[in-house]
Structure 1
Amino acid sequence: MSIGLDDVVAAETVLSDVDGEAGRLIIRGHDLEELAGHVPFEDVAAMLWDGLVPGVPSDPRAGFGEARERAFRYLSPLARHLSGLTPVEGMRLLLSALPDADKEPALLAVGGSAVAAAMAIRGATGLSPVAPDASAGHAADLLRMIKGAPVDSGRARGLDTYLVTVIDHGLNASTFAARVVASTDAGLLSAVVAGLCALKGPLHGGAPGPVLDMLDAIGTVGNAEAWLDDAMARGERLMGFGHRVYRVRDPRADVLKAAAARLRGDDNRIAFAEAVEQAALGALQRRKPGRRLDTNVEFYTAILLDSLGVPREGFTPLFAAGRTAGWVAHAVEQEKAGRIIRPQSRYVGPWPAKAA
């Protein structure tokens, strides 16, 4: 038995491979570094779906744009129910309203995730939803729907890089949840909702926000070394460092660090975060010399999204908006396998008393 299913192979996939020893992430035959920041999210999603998901549009930008508009028609009447919900709770409510019977459920799922994320982030603070612009790029439109105004190309590229970076990552908890639901023939939208529910947990997609809490507590570069040493002396985890799979630096962290660096100095704290990162890596090396704990995707996710003006409560919905394309691909792949996922458990409870 493997608690947590470590090293248990539960699926064969053509979608992605995570090499934790080498610090390498392959997406459909390409290293992540070839794609993120270079190929638009819509094109990467179409590549991920190619030959697997039916109805991949020949013009991905137009196809996803139309899907956002279609999703908005389904979801906008629900905006009044978002007050009092956190952004991820609001996104869960909205995605649950999308029909599995839609003519193009895969496109609707991704378009709907973008619309739902933006609506839920705005709705949590009482703001009205902003309708999508089908002619815009997916990332640019998503950020516009959040902020309520057009964004410059640099910020749009930053979010696009992020969405590509998180599009797929092996058989993680949320992807496995999506595959389990898909194996029952429940439908793509139901599988996506299951993925979001797993991602909501702070041990999975809910982690980047506390990175900013850590930076808030440190305050200035001059406080960094002492604060980090004190935190480690108390046995606290340094947020944004270490990963269950990667034994070296998380390649996604490097991609997002480069994306954040392009925005450095634009009334943000990217330079401060870079200094804290170096101080943290030094502290970890001093206190845990025999253990490699490097920067992970959470650290620069927090820095990049914060610099784009996304509230920290909105980080998990944006993670889901990018990962939905991967959930859809895995769900379809699992459906094609044609077998329900049904592992065994070992009973360790009491047995009935034997009859006299």
Structure 2
Amino acid sequence: MQSAGTASQVGRWIGRGEALARLGVKAQTLYAYVSRGRIAARPDPEDPRRSLYAVADVIRLSGEEPAGGDIGQWLPPPEESNGPDFELRSSVSISVKGRLFYRGMDAVQLAETATLENVARLMWDARSASPFAEVRPRVGATPGHSARGRLFAALARRAEEDAELKPRPADGLRIECARVLDEAVDAVAGPGPRLFLHQRLARAWKVREGDAHLVRRALVLSADGGLDAPALATRAAAAGGASPAGAALAGLATLAGSATIIDLSRASAWVVAVRRQAVDAARRAHEAGVLSGFGDPDWPGGDPRAAALISEADLPQDLARAMREGEEMTGRAPTFGLALVAVARRLELPRDAAADLLMIGRVAGLLAHALDQTTNGSPIRARLRYVGPEPGAN
């Protein structure tokens, strides 16, 4: 006989097989949903090696209606309202009806003219004055053998320097964020004239002046992707007392190991193969089931950022044809990661520049989440449930 507590769990959590059947997806997609925070998961109390998945999240993503149409039967009972709270308030970004908005402004429309500085001010809610006006160049090079290594080193250095225990006013935190973003770009681009952030990167990568707008668009569109795992990691660090730089570092480390970067790396390898062997490479990859860069579970109708970036990229004929035929073969639109890779190849940037663009742009958004959490965020109440060996058993 089940206890009342056990019975309350029945229907709220389901196994992997049932979750896959309800969603109609493969296991990799289910894991991607979990890693991006779209489906909550927890260990199975009867077998900690297995996972259970929240029915409410599965229903929301599949569009399925619970029996009787009453969603309330799938939600936690009222007596558990004092338990862990995984719902966070965010005013940074939201996706609605296939469009991404930064504080209510359409990201694709912003990318037409806005710089990363403009978007950072918007996301940081810096209305009265520009925090970048207080920024001065930092003397001295940032150590690291790669752009990514220098980017992490710059954030780590700022995290150490900004680790104050006393509260800071919101305007002071915004200036702090501007300094962090400025130093992050300098860490990748190196010293030089105090141009716009995208111009510094374009200059370092020897991009023609007429093509610098593609770097600007890529950075603006990379700034945020909603309340995903990197944003959650940033907010958790900020709620725990980390400085904006420290919180952004936590989010960036999460992004570096995420499915987004893995997919981008695979798409980059595919683009290189396509440019060498034309579209035959795409056909072989599709037949082998390893064609990367098409279809994103977060954007079933296609990522508007990818479409906007590709439409402005003026891709060479071989790559444009491969993108078109890849979409026809899979029936899915290119991902934003693939769009970044295509632009990087079009501009003849360094090998890892697509990921660098994504991570640099994302620093602005992660700083926004850190600031939002510190100044206006809801408390994060979570409980770590131990499922290891019984203490003293060994």
Normalized against structure 1, the TM-score is what? 0.76
Per the alignment, residue 214 of structure 1 pairs with 270
SS of the counterpart of 2:114? coil
Q: Secondary structure at the match of 1:189?
A: helix
SS in 1 for 2:308: helix
**Is 1:40–2:40 an aligned residue pair?**
no
Task: Give the letter for the 1:117 counterpart.
Answer: V
Deviation of residue 239 (structure 1)? 1.9
- Relative to structure 1, is the Cα distance of residues 340 and 306 closer, same or farther in structure 2, using a 3 angstrom cutoff? same
> Once the 2 structures are TM-superposed, how far is the Cα of residue 143 of structure 1 from its aligned partner?
1.9
Residue in structure 1 matching 2:148, options 88, 91, 98: 88
Instruction: Give 2:309's aligned residue.
Output: 256
Identity of aligned residues (%): 25
Structure-2 separation of matches of 1:77 and 1:295: 37
Change (3 A) 1:11 1:314: same
Are 1:294 and 2:333 an aligned pair? Answer: yes
Greater relative CO, 1 or 2 (CA 8 Å, sep 6+): 1
CA gap 1:164/1:260 in 2 versus in 1, 3 angstroms = same
Q: Distance in 1 between matches of 2:177 and 2:388?
A: 43
Structure-2 residue corresponding to 1:141 = 200
Letter of the 1:305 partner, please give it.
A
The reply on whether 1:6 has 2:6 as its aligned counterpart is no
2:242 aligns with: 186
Distance 1:294 1:95, change over 3 A: same
Which of 103, 121, 134 matches 1:28? 103
In structure 2, the CA distance between the partners of 1:254 and 1:169, relative to structure 1 (3 Å rule), is same
> What is residue 325 of structure 2 aligned with on the other side?
279
Residue 45 of structure 1 aligns with an amino acid whose one-letter code is: A
SS of the residue corresponding to residue 17 of structure 1 reads strand
Matched position secondary structure for 2:112: coil
CA distance in 2, matches of 1:234, 1:100: 50
State the Cα RMSD in Å: 2.8
1:184 partner amino acid = G
1:198–1:204 CA contact under 8 A, matched in 2: no
Structure 1 unmatched ranges of 5 or more? 119-128, 265-269, 286-292
Asked whether the 8 Å contact 1:302–1:312 carries over to 2, the reply is no
1:234 pairs with 2:288:
yes
CA distance in 1: counterparts of 2:238 and 2:392, whole angstroms? 40
Measure, in 1, the Cα distance between the counterparts of 2:263 and 2:149.
Answer: 16
Check if 1:327 corresponds to 2:366: yes
Identify the match of residue 164 of structure 1 among 220, 224, 233. 220
1:114, distance to aligned residue in structure 2 (A): 0.8
Matched, 1:113 2:184: yes
Q: Using the TM superposition, give the Cα deviation of residue 349 of structure 1 relative to its aligned residue in structure 2, in angstroms.
A: 4.1
The 1-side partners of 2:102 and 2:329 are apart by: 33
Greater C-alpha Rg = 2
Give the SS at the match of 1:13: coil
* Residues 235, 247 of structure 2: 8 Å contact kept: yes
Change beyond 3 A, Cα 1:347–1:101: closer
Question: Which 5+ residue runs of structure 2 have no aligned equivalent?
Answer: 1-12, 15-33, 41-85, 165-171
Q: For residues 75-96 of structure 1, give each alpha carbon's deviation from its aligned partner in whole angstroms, at most 9, with x where no partner exists.
A: x244xx42xx343223212321
Measured after TM superposition, the shift of residue 317 of structure 1 is: 2.6
Give the SS at the match of 2:311: helix
After superposition, the Cα gap between the structure-2 partners of 1:57 and 1:198, relative to the gap in structure 1 and judged at 3 Å, is farther
SS at match of 1:25: strand
Query: Is the contact made by 2:89 and 2:378 (CA closer than 8 Å) also made in structure 1?
Result: no
Give the superposition deviation at 1:250: 0.5
Counterparts in 2 of 1:154 and 1:66: CA distance versus 1, 3 Å: farther
Q: Give the counterpart letter for 1:105 in structure 2.
A: E
Between the two proteins, the alignment pairs up a number of residues equal to 305
65 and 311 in structure 1: CA distance in 2 versus 1, 3 angstrom threshold: farther
TM-score, normalised by the number of residues in structure 2: 0.69
How many angstroms apart in 2 are the aligned matches of 1:210 and 1:140? Answer: 28
Cα distance in 2 for partners of 1:178, 1:309 equals 32
Contact 1:91–1:116 (8 Å) recurs in 2: yes
